[in-house]
Amino acid sequence: MATTYLKNTLTPAIIKTIPEQELPALCEEIRSTLVTYGQQHGGHIGSNLGVVELSVALHYVFSSPQDQIIFDVSHQSYVHKMLTGRTQAYTDETKYNSITGFTNPEESEHDAFTLGHTGTSIAIACGMAQQRDSANKHSQRNIIAVIGDGALSSAVAFEGLNNAALLKSNLIIILNDNEMSISQNVGGIYDNLAQLRATRGKSEHNIFKDFGLDYQYVEQGNNVHELIAQLKKIKNVDHPIVLHIHTKKGLGLDEIDQQKGIIPGQCEANHWQNPLHASKALPARKYYGQLAMSMLEQRFPDEPTLTIISPATPRSNGITEDFRSRAGLHYVDTGITEEYAAAYAAGIAKAGGTPVLATSATFFQRAYDQIHQELCLNNQPATLLIFAAGISNADNSHSGAFDIAMLANIPNLLYLTPSSEQDYLQMLQWSTTSKNHETVAIRVPSQAVLQADVERNTTSYPEIKRNFENPFNTNTSCPFLQYRFEQKSDTVALLGFSNTMPIIRKAATILEEHDITPSIIDTLQCSYLDEQSLNDLSRNHSITLTVEDGQQSGGYGNRISAWLTCNTNIKAFNLGADKEFTDQIPMQTLLQRYQMTPEQIAQNILQHLA
């Protein structure tokens, strides 16, 4: 029978007062609360359902924040949040938005870090343990990293395992093995995990021991009593230990939920759950992803070496299960391994193949060095598809506003910035068919661009086009280096690219109501300056305004301004995002903050002309 513990705000102190025999009922209540929360609000429900018992057991046995628990990537921290003072954020619909989807030090002393990128928990825990030991070598604080099996495929997690063994003091690494990454697990280590599960941790082949770590196994990772017993045994352990627990992702999503439209159990589809009331319309990100895959797939029969690479996140980028099942060797999931993926793409390109590496802007940050060195220093013609780039209401750990400063300043990299479906497809065709010797990144357009195409009737959205012509000969030099004048006028020039073009066009419409016809320029890319066009501009324009869908600092607008001021007599003004992290701030609020709405832009121009 379900308890009613969640009627009150729970804390670690309260958890400890609950008789252990009642904990399974508490877990049941938490689980059903999560299911309801997922239906109403959406979120990373699957992973949280798998760690209900672990989270309860951790707070039952350990004393946070004295003992420190670091949740890797932290999307599985909902139960932890429920148990550390934020209960109502999951039980009271009106408070759903009072907290974020990741651990957050601003919310609670029980959250040490905001983490949204995978694999760093062990490194952080090692640092905290080091600091604990330096400050007081007799300290009995437990430092605990909770890391999923999927996260184990990532570079920094391996470095963590390798370095953890050096610590001569307490460190507990809880491996939450739910047999799933975001999609399926990828890599040789997962055969070893399977062996360890099959032998209940007794296999003599044990990668954790080979890293020099102590190791224990719990088969019933969703049995709170087993977990408590085991955690009590290793509490205050005086050396690093891996506790491998076997759990079930999505446990509690059953057939009843399925009738409500939720996909049950341990599957890719419940990595991220949309609320039931969410629009079923295909979002731009998945639409453009599917469109790209459709176009590339058409070429598979003739181009055996066209290879799509996705580091663990295919589904959110429109690389559907169906596509993958048809793609054979044309599709490779490398696991959560952006570093590897970029160097791997360089290898494919060097050997004559055509790699297309697709992931989010924020995750490309992890491959900065491999993009710089293996790809660009070596001039390898790989295509990077940059999803979720630009100003948005994303979580602060997933912001897409930093991509231009990161990518557009790397030598030998051409960052193409389509502002329409047609440009997007042409740019992708060009980068994957030409014999250029440059790494090309393509900024996948946003919802604003899709909306504009829908309004102009220049897309078949939501239908995914299936027949494509390749408009380029294989030896065409890059046709995107010259700025495109969408409208030629004088006095005022509005320059944009990518997702700001719809904004600029609207601003122009407002200006036209004031009898000012601005020039509208789409730069098409943000890596190089088209000095000829800028020079032309300077002849009959007095004001140039750049509008950039990303951080101004390090961005393209500043480069244009600097060039214009140095080489011409016209003034340029730049709009773009401030150099800041933003956390789930509505898009419209951000655009207003950055003076980037069409109305603000028009007003800005009018003031300058006044």
Q: Which of residues 211-250 bind a second copy (CB under 8 A)?
A: 211-213
* Residues within window 291-320 making contact with a second copy, judged by CB under 8 A: 304-305, 307
Please choose, out of 80-88, 216-224, 365-373, 494-502, the segment that lies near a second copy by the rule CB under 8 A: 365-373
> Does residue 264 interact with a second copy by CB under 8 A?
no
Q: Which is nearer to a second copy, 303 or 486 (CB)?
A: 303
How many C-beta atoms surround the C-beta of residue 353 within 10 A? 16
Q: Which is nearer to a second copy, 119 or 518 (CB)?
A: 119
> Does residue 572 interact with a second copy by CB under 8 A?
yes
* Residues within window 46-75 making contact with a second copy, judged by CB under 8 A: 68, 70
Q: Which is nearer to a second copy, 126 or 172 (CB)?
A: 126
Residue 385 has which token pair?
Answer: 């598809």
Q: Which is nearer to a second copy, 258 or 567 (CB)?
A: 567
Q: Which is nearer to a second copy, 225 or 571 (CB)?
A: 571
> Which of 97, 351, 471, 586 is the binder for a second copy (CB under 8 A)?
351
| Strand ranges, E, within 284-353 | 306-310, 331-333
Q: Which is nearer to a second copy, 79 or 112 (CB)?
A: 112
* Residues within window 119-138 making contact with a second copy, judged by CB under 8 A: 120, 123-135
Phi, psi angle pair for 493, to nearest 5°: -120, 130
Least separation in angstroms between residue 463's CB and a second copy is 30
Q: Which is nearer to a second copy, 57 or 564 (CB)?
A: 564
Please choose, out of 150-158, 172-180, 478-486, 488-496, the segment that lies near a second copy by the rule CB under 8 A: 150-158
> Does residue 609 interact with a second copy by CB under 8 A?
no
> Does residue 204 interact with a second copy by CB under 8 A?
yes
> Does residue 574 interact with a second copy by CB under 8 A?
yes
> Does residue 603 interact with a second copy by CB under 8 A?
no
Dihedral sign (CA 459, 460, 464, 469): negative
Q: Which is nearer to a second copy, 10 or 171 (CB)?
A: 171
d(CA 408, CA 321): 32
d(CA 198, CA 191): 10
> Does residue 564 interact with a second copy by CB under 8 A?
yes
Q: Spell out the residues 6+ positions from residue 152 whose beta carbon is closer than 8 angstroms to its own.
A: 119, 158, 175, 189, 193
Cα 24 vs. chain centroid, distance in angstroms?
34
> Does residue 365 interact with a second copy by CB under 8 A?
yes
Q: Across the beta sheet with 383-387, what order do the strands follow? A: 331-333, 306-310, 354-360, 383-387, 439-443, 413-416
User: Strands 413-416, 383-387: parallel, antiparallel or unpaired by DSSP?
Assistant: unpaired
Query: Total residues at the site for a second copy (CB under 8 A)?
Result: 115
Residue by residue, DSSP assigns 509-528 as: HHHHHTT---EEEE-SBSSS
SS3 category, 279: coil
Least separation in angstroms between residue 566's CB and a second copy is 5
CA nearest neighbour of 219 among 181, 179, 247, 193: 247
- Number of residues that make up the chain: 610
Least separation in angstroms between residue 589's CB and a second copy is 18
Residue 390 has which token pair?
Answer: 């630009």
